[in-house]
């Protein structure tokens, strides 16, 4: 019991410490809070503000008002409510892609760095080749053949296309960490490869891995909404990408009155991407004490 | 005895020559580029022909739905894609490779009778023009601003530019494009976007005249602006950190101690060394820009390869789709090759390290 209490207490103390560090950087705090708000709103919001099912002919294409904070769209539906209901798919796909791509990249990168020799150079040649192929066009072409109607398949495909760049960076990091004194000491103590990777090397790469995951996430948001915009992924229901392409197809870009129905989803995506990136930059500080002292 | 001692150096020099050829940096890079292209062509073959539910199957389904009999549909699809569908798969693959080598990408399915290769040849120059020009502008602005804020570190100017750069870097390019249309076309009404569709105004012929260049530029200017805005952020940030790192090097301190002027240190010592790593990034951003052209050219109705690809994706015009995708990849691989040579030429260390492996 005591051990459990200590464990919980220690965890709480660590969490509070992390928050204090996060709070020191205003941009980072903004990013963290904003990410949290967007994720919460996207999952809890739809329960409270359910999507409208009928059109309101009286309030078509209005600007912001007290009744509709972000105006209304071509069907007279509230833009804010649509934005709240349209985030879930985007958030799920972004997180899934980020996590899967990072797992792949860390596994291959660390393996390559540890094995070395011919296997290492062959793997890195393959990674280099994979990196020259333009990802987004390839994704778009594949998407016309495979049905990508659910977030999981799309995430798997995007992660599979996106991991190589990251794995090259992971390899470089592992190689440079391997040369550090404390790793050489651990090797001499014969602590075992697994122990060295998981206890000595990976913790020292956490900031780098977290930041890279987040960058992959923003790229996933870009690709996913881009596919919808091109009309290749027929996402059912409302998400931010669908909102943008629906508004664009109705010529909203050329009529000032209706512009709020495209500004709302663009704003949501931009805010999400910005929040993620500023969170990533402050995470670097939390994990890396050397950066902290210089603030 | 005398004979053997004479032949031995000869065999040695022959071996050395072979080794010199295989370890030749330029040759190795060219072989790698060819291999990359082969990988892409093979992937495309899988998507088009070998994957379950592949493009040819969809095409045949589509044609039968239009009222063609099964045989006719098969023949139609075969003639559009330029492969004999009755052959075994590996022979189809070899035919496919041969067609690609000849530059034969089949015929368009939607625009009947048009050769895919001709369609691409018509639009490719516009993408090369817009992407190339925007990369050059971005590279120059990014290097200049990045170096500048590295020198003015921790001033308000540095914070302002760094924050703007970080924001631009985070936002997707086509969202910047949408915002540009909203602001320039709808809110401020500076640019009449409906007149700017296409790469040239109707009636203007490509020729060496002021009128032609002015028209081409007026059609591309907003697209250029968006390309630059979308990619300049990361260039600025990377150049800033490279410059800061270089400023801390011993040889810069030594140059200062020798009393060299700041300008000389900036151009000959700091600038050169901080810019070098950016050349490898140039290669990556070419691919990124070409990928982005798919969305941006479609958004601005600029008739380049991105527009053609977006169009064929929407129409499920598989012959055009695969042709454009292959050409885009060739272009990216080729520009990577050039960027690598440029880098090797600028930095001899790369050539030696690459050859010694």
Backbone φ and ψ of A179, nearest 5°: -85, -10
CB contact under 8 A, B169 and A277: yes
Considering only residues B198 and A177, tell me which one the structure prediction assigns the higher pLDDT: A177
Tell how far CA A79 is from the center of its chain: 24
Q: Is the pLDDT of residue B109 over 60?
A: yes
Are B148 and B262 in contact, with CB atoms under 8 Å apart?
Answer: no
In A, minimum Cα distance to B48 occurs at A145
Distance CA A106, CA A167 (A): 6
- Where does the pLDDT of residue A46 fall: very low under 50, low under 70, confident under 90, or very high at 90 and above? confident
Integer CA distances (angstroms), A91 to A87, A269, B333, in order: 6, 10, 33
**How many angstroms separate the CA atoms of B291 and B22, rounded?**
33
**Which residue's structure tokens are 């793997």?**
A123
In percent, how much of chain B has pLDDT > 90? Answer: 3
Q: What average pLDDT does range B131-137 have in this prediction?
A: 89
Q: What integer pLDDT is reported at residue A5 of this predicted model? A: 67
Distance from CA of B8 to the nearest CA of A (A): 32
Contact across the interface for A145 and B36, Cβ inside 8 Å: no
To the nearest whole Å, the CA of A270 is away from the closest chain B CA by 6
Between CA B236 and CA A250 the distance in angstroms is 37
- Chain B residue numbers touching A263 (CB-CB < 8 A): 182
Q: Answer yes or no: do A128 and B175 touch at CB < 8 A.
A: no
Tell me if B187 and A263 make a contact (CB, 8 A cut-off).
no
Residue B158 scores a pLDDT above 90: no
How far apart CA B80 and CA A231 sit, in angstroms, is: 24
Q: What are phi and psi of B107, to 5 degrees?
A: -120, 155
Residue of B120, B119, B109 lying closest to B55 (CA atoms): B109
Burial of B352 (0-12, 13-18, 19+ CB in 10 A): exposed
**pLDDT: which is higher, B309 or A12:** B309
Instruction: Give me the residue from A131, A254, A276 closest to B194, CB to CB.
Output: A254
The predicted model gives B106-114 an average pLDDT of 76
| Tally of CB atoms within 10 A around A67 | 10
pLDDT of residue A294: 41
Contact A129 B36 (CB under 8 A): yes
Summarize the confidence of residues B172-177 as an average pLDDT. Answer: 87
Cβ A234 vs Cβ A144: under 8 Å = no
Nearest-CA distance B261 → chain A (Å): 30
Query: How crowded is residue A294: how many other Cβ atoms within 10 Å of its Cβ?
Result: 6
Q: Residues of A near B (CB-CB distance < 8 A)?
A: 121, 125, 128-129, 131-138, 140-142, 144-146, 218, 221-222, 225-226, 229-232, 244, 248, 253-256, 259, 262-263, 266, 269-270, 273-274, 276-278, 281
Please state, for a pLDDT cut of 70, what percent of chain B lies above it: 85
Domains of chain B: 40-107 (no CATH), 123-353 (1.10.3720.10)
Q: Is a pLDDT exceeding 50 seen at residue B357? A: no
Q: Taking 90 as the threshold, does the pLDDT of residue A100 lie above it?
A: yes
Confidence at residue A101, expressed as pLDDT on a 0 to 100 scale: 92
Q: How far is A136 from chain B (nearest CA, A)?
A: 5
Higher pLDDT, B86 or B320: B320
- Is it the case that residue A8 has pLDDT exceeding 50? yes
Which candidate from A125, A132, A262 shows the least CB-CB separation from B178?
A: A262
Higher pLDDT, B31 or A26: B31
Nearest Cα residue to B318 out of B128, B38, B123, B53: B53
Select the residue of B283, B314, B325 nearest A138 (Cβ to Cβ): B325
pLDDT of residue A97 exceeding 90: yes
Q: Please tell me the distance from the alpha carbon of residue B282 to that of residue B335, in angstroms, as a whole number.
A: 9
**Least trusted range by pLDDT, from A147-156, A243-252, B151-160, B254-263:** A243-252
**Number of Cβ atoms within 10 Å of the Cβ of A145:** 20
Say how many Å lie between the first and final Cα of chain A, rounded.
40
pLDDT classification of A22: cutoffs 50, 70, 90: low
Q: Cα B196–B201–B207 angle (5° rounding)?
A: 135
Q: Is the pLDDT of residue A241 over 60?
A: yes
Half-sphere exposure of B227 (CA within 13 A, CB side): 30
Is the pLDDT at A292 greater than 60? The verdict is no
CB-based contact A259 B182, cutoff 8 Å: yes
In the predicted model, what is the mean pLDDT of residues B214-236? 86
Residue environment code for A175-206, b if the CB has 16+ CB neighbours within 10 A, otherwise e: eebbeeeebeebeeeeeeeeebbeebbeebbe
Cα A160 from Cα A143, distance rounded (Å): 13
Contact criterion met (CB < 8 Å) for B325 and A135: no
**Mean pLDDT of all residues belonging to chain A:** 79
Distance from CA of B186 to the nearest CA of A (A): 6
- Rounded Cα gap, residues A123 and A164, in angstroms: 10
pLDDT confidence band for B42 (50 / 70 / 90) = confident
How far from A104 is each of A111, A168, A170, A239, B332, CA to CA, in Å?
11, 11, 11, 28, 25
Q: Give the mutation candidate from B44, B81, B175 for the A interface (greatest A CB count, under 10 A).
A: B175
pLDDT tens column, B78-102: 777 776 666 777 777 888 888 888 8
Q: For residue A257, give the chain B residue with the closest CA.
A: B186
pLDDT band (50, 70, 90) for residue A295: very low
Helix (H) or strand (E) run with residue B139 in it:
helix B116-151
The pLDDT assigned to B12 comes to 66
pLDDT in tens, A175-224: 888 777 777 788 788 777 777 777 777 777 777 788 888 888 988 988 88
Q: Report the pLDDT value the prediction gives residue A287, as an integer from 0 to 100.
A: 66
State yes or no: pLDDT of B5 exceeds 60.
no
* pLDDT band at residue A45 using 50, 70 and 90 as cut-offs: confident
Q: Which residues of A90-126 are buried (b: 16+ CB within 10 A; e: fewer)?
A: bbbbbbbbbebbbebbbebbbbbbbeeeeebeebbee
Q: What is the pLDDT of residue B351?
A: 60
Position B343 pLDDT exceeds 70: yes
A76 or A171, higher pLDDT:
A171
Higher-confidence residue: B67 or B320?
Answer: B320
Is the Cβ pair A254, B193 closer than 8 Å?
A: yes
- Angle of helix B305-315 relative to helix B278-299, nearest 10 degrees? 50
Reported confidence tier of residue B2, pLDDT bands at 50, 70, 90: very low
B chain contacts of residue A229, beta-carbon cutoff 8 Å: 174, 295
B295 interaction partners in chain A (CB closer than 8 Å): 136, 226, 229-230
SS3 call for A204 = helix
What is the predicted pLDDT for the residue at A148?
74
Give Cα A114 to chain centroid, integer Å: 28
The shortest C-alpha distance from A278 to chain B (Å) reads: 9
Q: Alpha-carbon distance A235 to A77, whole Å?
A: 19
At A288, the pLDDT band (50, 70, 90 cuts) reads low
Q: In the predicted model, is pLDDT for residue B257 greater than 90?
A: no
Lowest mean pLDDT among A36-40, B146-150, B217-221, B304-308: B217-221
Q: Count H helices and E strands in chain A, helices first.
A: 13, 0
Report the pLDDT value the prediction gives residue A211, as an integer from 0 to 100.
81
Which residues of chain A does B51 touch, with a Cβ-Cβ cutoff of 8 Å?
145-146
Q: Do A132 and B174 touch (CB under 8 A)?
A: no
pTM: 0.81
């Amino acid at each position: 019991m005591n051990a459990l209490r200590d464990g919980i207490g220690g965890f709480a103390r660590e969490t509070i410490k992390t928050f204090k560090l996060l709070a020191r950087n205003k941009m980072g705090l903004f990013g963290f809070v904003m990410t949290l708000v967007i994720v919460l709103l996207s999952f809890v919001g739809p329960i409270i503000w359910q999507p409208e099912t009928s059109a309101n002919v009286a309030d078509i294409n209005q600007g912001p008002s007290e009744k509709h904070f972000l105006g209304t769209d071509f069907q007279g539906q509230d833009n804010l409510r649509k934005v709240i209901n349209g985030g879930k798919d985007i958030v799920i796909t972004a997180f899934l892609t980020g996590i899967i791509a990072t797992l792949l990249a860390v596994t291959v990168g660390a393996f390559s760095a540890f094995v070395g020799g011919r296997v290492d150079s062959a793997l890195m040649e393959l990674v280099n080749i994979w990196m020259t192929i333009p990802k987004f066009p390839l994704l778009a072409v594949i998407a016309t053949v495979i049905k990508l109607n659910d977030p999981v398949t799309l995430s798997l495909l995007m992660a599979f296309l996106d991991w190589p760049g990251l794995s090259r960076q992971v390899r470089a990091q592992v190689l440079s960490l391997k040369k550090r004194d404390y790793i050489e000491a651990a090797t001499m103590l014969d602590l075992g490869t697994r122990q060295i990777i998981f206890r000595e090397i990976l913790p020292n790469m956490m900031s780098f891995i977290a930041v890279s995951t987040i960058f992959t996430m923003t790229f996933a948001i870009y690709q996913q909404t881009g596919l919808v915009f091109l009309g290749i992924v027929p996402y059912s229901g409302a998400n931010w990408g669908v909102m943008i392409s629906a508004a664009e197809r109705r010529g909203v870009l050329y009529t000032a009155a209706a512009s709020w129905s495209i500004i709302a989803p663009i704003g949501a995506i931009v805010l999400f991407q910005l929040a993620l990136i500023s969170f990533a930059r402050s995470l670097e500080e939390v994990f890396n004490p050397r950066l902290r002292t210089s603030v | 005895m005398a004979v053997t001692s004479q032949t031995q150096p000869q065999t040695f020099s022959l071996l050395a020559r072979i080794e010199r050829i295989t370890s030749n940096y330029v040759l190795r890079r060219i072989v790698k580029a060819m291999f990359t292209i082969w990988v892409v062509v093979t992937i495309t073959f899988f998507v088009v022909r070998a994957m379950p539910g592949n493009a040819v199957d969809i095409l045949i389904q589509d044609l039968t739905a239009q009222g063609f009999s099964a045989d006719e549909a098969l023949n139609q699809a075969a003639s559009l894609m330029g492969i004999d569908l009755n052959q075994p798969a590996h022979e189809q693959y070899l035919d496919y490779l041969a067609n690609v080598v000849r530059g034969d990408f089949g015929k368009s399915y939607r625009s009947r009778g048009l050769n895919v290769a001709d369609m691409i040849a018509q639009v490719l120059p516009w993408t090369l023009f817009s992407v190339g020009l925007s990369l050059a502008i971005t590279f120059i602005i990014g290097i200049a601003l990045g170096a500048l804020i590295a020198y003015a570190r921790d001033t308000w100017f540095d914070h302002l530019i760094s924050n703007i750069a970080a924001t631009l870097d985070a936002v997707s390019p086509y969202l910047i494009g949408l915002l540009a249309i909203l602001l320039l076309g709808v809110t401020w009404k500076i640019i009449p976007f409906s007149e700017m569709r296409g790469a040239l105004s109707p009636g203007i012929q490509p020729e060496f005249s002021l009128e032609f260049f002015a028209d081409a530029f007026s059609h591309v200017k907003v697209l250029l602006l968006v390309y630059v805005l979308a990619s300049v952020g990361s260039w600025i940030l990377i150049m800033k950190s490279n410059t800061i790192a270089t400023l801390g090097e011993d040889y810069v301190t030594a140059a200062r101690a020798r009393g060299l002027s700041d300008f000389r240190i900036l151009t000959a010592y700091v600038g050169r060394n901080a810019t070098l790593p950016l050349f490898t990034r140039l290669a990556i951003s070419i691919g990124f820009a070409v990928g982005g052209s798919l969305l941006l050219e479609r958004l601005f109705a600029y008739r380049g390869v991105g527009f053609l690809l977006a169009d064929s994706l929407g129409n499920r015009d598989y012959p055009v789709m695969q042709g454009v995708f292959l050409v885009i990849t060739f272009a990216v691989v080729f520009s990577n090759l050039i960027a690598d040579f440029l880098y090797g030429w600028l930095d001899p260390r790369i050539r030696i390290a690459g050859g010694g492996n």
